[in-house]
Structure 1
Amino acid sequence: MLYFISADIGTQGTKAAVIDEQGTIIATSFQPSTLIRRAGGVVKQSPDEMFQSVLEGIRCAMDQSTVPRSQVAAIGLAGQMAGVIGIDRDWNPVTSYDSWLDARCESEMPGMKAWGEEAIIRITGCPVTYAHGPKKLWWKRERPEMFERIGKFVVPSAYVAGKLAGLKAKEAFIDHTHLHFSGFADVERLAWSEELMRAFGMDKSKLPRIVPPWEVIGRLKRPYADLSGLPEGVPIVAGCGDTAAAAFGAGMVRPGRLLDIAGTASVLSCAVNGYTPDTESKTLIYARSVLPDLWAPLAYVNGGGECLAWYRRLVGSADITFDQLNALAEEVPAGCDDLLFIPHFNGRTCPNTPELRGSWAGLNWAHGQGAMYRAIMEAIAYEYKHYVQILGRLAGRVDLTQATVVGGGAKGELFNRIKADVLGIELRTLTHGDSALTANAAIAGYGIGLFDDLAGAAESFVSYDRTFLPDTTCGAEYERHAARYRIAVEGMAQLYGRMNQS
C-alpha cells in the first residue's frame, strides 16, 4: 500500500493528513495560524509561520499513523487562493502573505475598472476584486522598494511546495486553478495576457510559469524531510487552490454538480463544460477546475460563514452554543416573519461593492435571537439562489443533478435544510468533510503515474453521509423572500453609496 501526504493551508490554520491510495484518511492534524489584522484594512500572515505549520502538521500526522516512511509516495498541497506572497530570487519572502481578506488593494480597483472591467473579465474570468491583480499593483505603487526586491509572486500552496523542494524564484510556478485570481492571465489560453500586462505596467518577469496541478515540481529536500518525518526525495506536485481542491475532492467532476463550501466564506460553485464569463452582472468568477476541460464558475460571500460565529459572540458565546441557536431558529418559520439579513460586513465581493455593509432589515418587536440567527442562514441561501440564476442565464439550461456541502458549516442540519429548500435541490454531506485533503492525494497519485484516470480517482475517494431533500411546501415562500432579499441588497448598496458621498 502506498500513501500520500496532503496539506490544506487555510485561513484559520493548516490541516495535514496521511491518506492511502484508496482515499482513506489514516491520520490528520491541525496547526492553527495567526491572522494579523491592522488598521487600514490590513490582514496578513507570516509566510514562515505558514511553512512551519505544514512541516509540523505533516510530522504530527505521520507520528499518529503507523505508516512506514518508505511507503510515502508523494506530497500534494492546497491553499488559500486570492492572496499572494512576494519572494526574492532565493525563495525568501519579501512580503508577508497579503491575505484575500486584506483590503489595502482597494485603491487600485477604480483604475482597473476604468480601463475596462468587462475586458478584464473576458480575459481572466474574474471581476476586479480583492485578488492578485490589484494586490500586485498596490505593492508596485505603494511599496516600490519592496516591489523591486520581489523575484516572483506566488500563492501559498506554491510557496510551501517550492520551499520544500528547495526551488529558486526562476523555477516558481502557479497552477491553472489560481489563474482567474491572478489579474493578468488569459484563463482560456493558459498564458499571461500581453494586453493586460502592457495596460497596467506589470513586469512579466515577476509572474511565475503556469503548470497543471499534477506536475511534479521537485522533490523533498533533506532538511525538511528530517523536520517533517518523511524520507528525502519524495515527489511534490504543484497542487491547487483550496476551493478547487474542495470541489474536486467532493466529486465535482461532471457537469451539473454543485458544491457548497460552508466555511469562513460561503462559496457556491458549479461544474460546467464551457467558458462564458460574467461580463454583465460581474458576479460569477469563471474558474478552471482541476480537470483541464471542466470549468467551475463560482461566487462567494466574503465572511458569510463568519457571520454566524459573529452573532454567537455578540449574544455571548460563553453562555450559548451553536446547537442552542439552531434550536431557537428551528422554531421560526421560513422567511423569519419578513426579517432579512445582509451578510456583506466588509463590502460585497461578488459583484465588488466595497461600500456595502451588513445589516438586518425588517426588525419588529416579535423577532428574537432565533429569528435573527435564522435570517443569517437564509441570507446565504438567497445569495446562492441568485448565483444559480445568473449561471442559468450565462450557460443556458444547466441540469443541476446534486449539491454537496463541505466545510465546518456542513455540520449544521438546519442550515443544510434551508439551502436545499431555497435551491430546490438535493443536498448531501460527506463522510469526511475535508474533501480538499483527499483531492490532494488523488492529484499527487495522478502526478506520479499511480492513477490513470484523474476524475475517476477523485470520484472513487468520495463517500457520502447524509442527504437533505428540498421541502416543496417552502418553495413558494422562499421564492418571495429571495426576491425581497435582492431588493434589500441592491437598495442597501445604493444607500451606502450615497452615504459615502456625503
Structure 2
Amino acid sequence: MAYLMGIDLGTSSLKTIIIDEAGNVKAVSARPYQFASPCGGYAEHDPREWWKACCETVKEALAACGAPASSVKGVSFSGQMHGAVLLDKDYQVIRPAILHCDARSAVQVEEIKAALGMDRVRELIMNPVYTGFLLPSLMWVRDNEPENYEKVRHVFLPKDYLKFRMTGEVSSDYSDASATLAFDIKRNCWSEEILSAVDVPMDFFPRCYGTDEAAGTVCEAASRETGLSTSTVVVAGGGDQVMQGIGNGITQAGSATSNIGTSGQVSFQSDVPIMNPALSTNTFCGYKKGRWFTMGAIMNAGLSLKWFNSLFETADFNQINEQVAKVRPGSGGVIFLPYLNGERTPHVNPNLSGMFLGVNLNTGRPEMTRAVMEGVAFALYQCIEVCGNLGLKADNMVASGGGARSGPWLQIQADIFNIPLKVADTEEQAGLGSAIAAGVGAGVYRDIEEGCRAVVKYKDMLVVPNAAAHEAYEEYYQLYKDTYEAGRDVLQRVTLMGRRQ
C-alpha cells in the first residue's frame, strides 16, 4: 500500500496529513505557533520554527500511521502565500520572514506603482500592489536594513523553505511565485521587466515547477530529522489557495470556494487570466498551465474570531457555537468591520482598523461573537459581488477552513451569500490537496483530476440559504458597506495615529 503525505504551512499552525491511495486519512499531526509583531502593522516569523514544527509533525504522523517510512511515496506542500523568506550565500536565514499580513511596506508599494506605471501594473502584474507581498517586503529590507539586504542571495516563499530543507535544493512553484508581484502572470515566469524597473536582481529568484512536479527527493539531513525515507519523492506543491482548491475537488473552470482560515478568500477557477481594471481582486496561476484563479481576499477572517475570543478567559468553541446559534440574524443591530490589520478586497488599504457599530445595553458576548462571524461573511460577500461584476459566478460553493467547522458560521455564509454550500469530508483540505499533488508527482495518480476523483469526498449535507434570513441580511449588508464609506477617513486617521504611539 502506498501512502502520501501533505504538509500545510499556515499562518498560525503547521499540519501534516498522511493518506492512502483511496484518500483515507491515516494520520494528522499539528503544531500551533504565533507570528511576531514587534511594531504596529508588522508580522514576521522565523522560518526555522516552521521547520521544527514540520519535523515534529512528520515524525508524529509516521508513528501514528504505523507504516514504514519507505511506504510514503511522495510528500508535497501547501503554504501561506506572499511572504518573503531571505537566505544568504550559505543558505542560512538572514532575518525573520515578512508575512502576508505585514503592512510595513507602504512606501515600497508606491515605488513599484511609480516605476511601472498603472497601465503596466494592470497588464503585467494583474494584481493590486499591496503590502505583505514578497516584492515590496524585499524592497523594504533593501531600504531599511541594508546590512541584511547585502547578504541576500536567495528569495522565496514560506512553504519553499520547508521544501528547501527537505531536499537541499532551492525552488518554488508557478502558483506561489505568481503571488509575489515579481511574476509575469500571462507568461508564467519571473518578470525581468518588473525586477529591472525596481532594481532587484533576477538571480535572487529560484527555478519554478508545476504544482504536481517532482522537485527532488528527501535529502539525508532531512531524513534524519523527519524520519522520512530518502526514496520519498518531494513534489513542488503550491500556495494555499491552489492546494485547498485541489483538496476540495475544485478542478473545473467555473467552480468556486469560500475559505475562512486566518485570512479569508472566495476563489473562482478560470481557463483565462481575468484582469480587473480596479485591481481590487487577485488573479494568480493555477495548478497547471492554462488554468488561473481569481479571488477576492480579506485580511482578517478566522483571525477576527481568534482575536475576539482572546479577550475572554474561556473560549470553548462548541459552547460559542451554541450561543451564536440562539442569536437572530443581525446580532441585535451590531455590525463588525473586520479590518483589524487593513483590508485587501475591495478597499486595498493597509491603513484601516476594525470596529463594532451598534453596541447597546442588550449586547452580550454571544451577540458580539455572531457580529464578528457576520462581519467576516459580509466581507466575503463583498468579494463575491466584486468577482460577479467580472463575470465570475457560481451556483454553489465549497466551504473550507475553520469557518466550515462551525455550523452557525456555515449557515451565516449560506444565508448572506444566498448560495448553497458543500463541505469536503476532511477538515484538512490544503493538506489533502498537497497529498494528492504528492501522489501525482510520485506516479500514484496520472494527474490532479484523477487524484481528486480517487480521494476527495463530501459530507452528506448541503447548507441551503434561508430566504428570510437572506432578506434581513441584505439590509444589514448595505449598512455594513455604508458604515465603511461614512467612516473611512476617520478609520484611516485613527489607524495611523495608533501606529505612531
| TM-score w.r.t. length of structure 1 | 0.93
Going from structure 1 to structure 2, the CA distance change for 1:74 and 1:331 (only over 3 Å counts) comes to closer
Q: Identical aligned pairs, as a percentage?
A: 25
Q: Aligned partners of 2:496, 2:161: CA distance in 1, in Å?
A: 41
Counterpart position of 1:480: 475
Q: Aligned partners of 1:458, 1:291: CA distance in 2, in Å?
A: 14
Counterpart position of 2:124: 123
Counterpart position of 1:388: 384
Matches within 5 A, 1:356-375: 356-375=352-371
Conservation of the 8 A alpha-carbon contact between 1:260 and 1:404: yes
Report the Cα offset of residue 365 of structure 1: 3.2
Question: Structure 1: any 5+ residue segments left out of the alignment?
Answer: none
CA-to-partner distance for each residue in 1:29-56, whole Å, 9 max, x for gaps?
A: 1123342221243322222221122122
Q: Aligned partners of 1:354, 1:399: CA distance in 2, in Å?
A: 28
Counterpart position of 2:447: 453
Q: Higher mean Cα deviation, 10-19 or 358-367? A: 358-367
CA-to-partner distance for each residue in 1:372-406, whole Å, 9 max, x for gaps?
A: 22221111221122111211221x2x441321122
Q: Aligned partners of 2:31, 2:306: CA distance in 1, in Å?
A: 20
Counterpart position of 2:135: 133
Q: Aligned partners of 1:92, 1:327: CA distance in 2, in Å?
A: 48
Counterpart position of 1:44: 44
Matches within 5 A, 1:339-358: 339-350=334-345, 351-358=347-354
Question: Structure 2: any 5+ residue segments left out of the alignment?
Answer: none
Q: Aligned partners of 1:8, 1:501: CA distance in 2, in Å?
A: 34
Counterpart position of 1:57: 57
Report the Cα offset of residue 341 of structure 1: 0.9
Going from structure 1 to structure 2, the CA distance change for 1:487 and 1:34 (only over 3 Å counts) comes to closer
Q: Aligned partners of 2:40, 2:361: CA distance in 1, in Å?
A: 37
Q: Aligned partners of 2:26, 2:291: CA distance in 1, in Å?
A: 30
Report the Cα offset of residue 6 of structure 1: 1.7
Q: Aligned partners of 2:491, 2:71: CA distance in 1, in Å?
A: 58
Matches within 5 A, 1:461-500: 461-465=455-459, 466-497=461-492
Q: Aligned partners of 1:334, 1:209: CA distance in 2, in Å?
A: 50
Counterpart position of 2:14: 14
Tell me the secondary structure at the aligned position of residue 95 of structure 2. coil
Counterpart position of 2:155: 153
Q: Aligned partners of 2:41, 2:382: CA distance in 1, in Å?
A: 28
Conservation of the 8 A alpha-carbon contact between 1:180 and 1:287: yes
Counterpart position of 2:255: 257
Going from structure 1 to structure 2, the CA distance change for 1:450 and 1:203 (only over 3 Å counts) comes to same
CA-to-partner distance for each residue in 1:132-186, whole Å, 9 max, x for gaps?
A: 121011111112222121111011221111222122xxxx322111133212111
Q: Higher mean Cα deviation, 361-370 or 86-95? A: 361-370
Q: Aligned partners of 2:479, 2:302: CA distance in 1, in Å?
A: 21
Matches within 5 A, 1:315-464: 316-318=312-314, 321-350=316-345, 351-394=347-390, 396=391, 398-464=392-458
CA-to-partner distance for each residue in 1:176-215, whole Å, 9 max, x for gaps?
A: 1113321211111112223211221111111222221122
Going from structure 1 to structure 2, the CA distance change for 1:501 and 1:328 (only over 3 Å counts) comes to closer
Report the Cα offset of residue 358 of structure 1: 0.6
Conservation of the 8 A alpha-carbon contact between 1:335 and 1:478: yes
Counterpart position of 1:286: 283
Report the Cα offset of residue 501 of structure 1: 8.6
Q: Which amino acid aligns with 1:428?
A: K
CA-to-partner distance for each residue in 1:228-247, whole Å, 9 max, x for gaps?
A: 22222322111111222112
Going from structure 1 to structure 2, the CA distance change for 1:85 and 1:437 (only over 3 Å counts) comes to same
Q: Aligned partners of 1:24, 1:183: CA distance in 2, in Å?
A: 37
Q: Aligned partners of 2:92, 2:416: CA distance in 1, in Å?
A: 48
CA RMSD of aligned residues (A): 2.1
Tell me the secondary structure at the aligned position of residue 252 of structure 2. coil
Q: Aligned partners of 1:14, 1:337: CA distance in 2, in Å?
A: 37
Q: Aligned partners of 2:36, 2:489: CA distance in 1, in Å?
A: 32
Going from structure 1 to structure 2, the CA distance change for 1:450 and 1:184 (only over 3 Å counts) comes to same
Going from structure 1 to structure 2, the CA distance change for 1:326 and 1:18 (only over 3 Å counts) comes to closer
Conservation of the 8 A alpha-carbon contact between 1:420 and 1:469: yes
Going from structure 1 to structure 2, the CA distance change for 1:399 and 1:343 (only over 3 Å counts) comes to closer
Going from structure 1 to structure 2, the CA distance change for 1:53 and 1:117 (only over 3 Å counts) comes to farther
Q: Aligned partners of 1:297, 1:427: CA distance in 2, in Å?
A: 19
Q: Higher mean Cα deviation, 263-272 or 331-340? A: 331-340
Q: Higher mean Cα deviation, 7-16 or 118-127? A: 118-127
Q: Which amino acid aligns with 1:124?
A: I
Match of 2:308 among 296, 306, 311: 311
Q: Aligned partners of 1:137, 1:26: CA distance in 2, in Å?
A: 43
Counterpart position of 2:201: 203
Q: Which amino acid aligns with 2:164?
A: G
Q: Aligned partners of 1:329, 1:220: CA distance in 2, in Å?
A: 46
Tell me the secondary structure at the aligned position of residue 399 of structure 2. strand
Counterpart position of 1:107: 107
Match of 1:228 among 226, 229, 235: 226
Going from structure 1 to structure 2, the CA distance change for 1:310 and 1:40 (only over 3 Å counts) comes to closer
Q: Aligned partners of 1:331, 1:17: CA distance in 2, in Å?
A: 35
| TM-score w.r.t. length of structure 2 | 0.93
Conservation of the 8 A alpha-carbon contact between 1:190 and 1:210: no
Q: Aligned partners of 1:54, 1:329: CA distance in 2, in Å?
A: 35
Q: Which amino acid aligns with 1:228?
A: T
Q: Aligned partners of 2:91, 2:155: CA distance in 1, in Å?
A: 10
Q: Higher mean Cα deviation, 176-185 or 53-62? A: 176-185
Report the Cα offset of residue 121 of structure 1: 3.9
CA-to-partner distance for each residue in 1:443-473, whole Å, 9 max, x for gaps?
A: 1221233322312312431121232111112
How many residues align? The count is 493
Q: Aligned partners of 1:247, 1:372: CA distance in 2, in Å?
A: 31
Going from structure 1 to structure 2, the CA distance change for 1:31 and 1:366 (only over 3 Å counts) comes to closer
